[in-house]
Amino acid sequence: MKRFVLLYHQFPADHDDVSHYDLMLEEGDALRTWRLLEKPDMLQPVRGEAIFPHRLTYLDYEGEVSGNRGSVTRIDRGEYELVRDDAETLIVQLYGSVLIGRLAVLIS
């Protein structure tokens, strides 16, 4: 199975961006990534925005992000199965330590 990671991306107080969660799904030699403004809840859909692919190193990385872009903390990681992936909705079956079950992301 392919791997996933959920990171909490915290920005410095003087930064323009807002702290958020990054859901990253392994796809080939990169991680497809969605920015989530709230912590995923397995009981209800969460809103997310697809952003640029990230390097596979983020599957195991925690710490400072270059360019004064804050830091990332791993919330969970594990394996996943893709259930639905279209322009409006991403649904994945997650097999993590914290996130276990189906997660629905409504794409904005």
Q: Which range among 10-14, 29-33, 61-65 shows the weakest confidence by mean pLDDT?
A: 10-14
Average pLDDT of the residues of the chain: 94
CB atoms within 10 A of CB 36: 19
User: Is this model's pTM higher than 0.75 or not?
Assistant: yes
Q: Please give the pLDDT value at position 75.
A: 97
Partners of 23 in the β-ladder: 6, 34
User: Does residue 67 carry a pLDDT above 90?
Assistant: no
Query: What span, in angstroms and rounded, lies between the C-alpha atoms of 2 and 15?
Result: 33
Say what the pLDDT of residue 12 is: 78
Q: What is the pLDDT of residue 81?
A: 98
pLDDT of 16 = 74
Report how far Cα 92 is from the mean position of its chain's Cα atoms. 12
Whose CA is closest to 82, among 104, 108, 62, 66? 104
Beta bridge partners of 103: 92
Residue among 60, 46, 56 at smallest CA distance from 99: 46
